[in-house]
Amino acid sequence: MIAALISITSLAAAIQWVYYCRSAVASTQDVQPSGHLLRATGVANGKPNGGDFEHFLELARLCPERGNDAAQMRGVAIYYQLLHLLARLPGEPLPAVSCWARREQRACSHFAAVVLDRRISSSRDLFSQHRVDRV
């Protein structure tokens, strides 16, 4: 009985975590990363693809964190890795799951690009403020 309760609680927590990650990713879907960022990172056609996530994540780690975006980035990075496993499933038995996972990976890459763009913008603002304060 206790094992069943623990299993149900764990499953509910996992589902809640997935929804948290998906809501974090969805919160950036209407925000476009700057063209300067996309050109500087070598993104073709102006839209990040699923494979760009790791690159954006590495670059974002080099920038100072903004608010609570570090926790969101960690959660989305784990979510992305889970999606990576799902996307690698053979296409024959579960083509819809694999296709969905690839779409979600593209959305995760877009999220990482937006977070990176925000961190760069915030760093620029801090630098400008510092220069004004020194004068």
Q: pLDDT tens digit string along 101-124?
A: 889 999 999 999 999 999 988 888
2-26 and 95-134 helices, crossing angle to 10°: 60
**What pLDDT sits at residue 34?**
86
Q: Is the pLDDT of residue 125 over 80?
A: no
How many other C-beta atoms lie within 10 A of the C-beta of residue 9?
Answer: 10
**Backbone angles phi and psi of 15, in degrees to 5:** -65, -40
Give the 3-state secondary structure of 5-38: HHHHHHHHHHHHHHHHHHHHHHCCCCCCCCHHHH
* pTM: predicted TM-score of the whole model, two decimal places: 0.85
Tell me the pLDDT tens digit for each residue of 63-101.
Answer: 887 777 888 999 999 999 999 988 877 766 677 888 888
Least confident range of 19-28, 36-45, 107-116: 36-45
**What pLDDT sits at residue 96?**
80
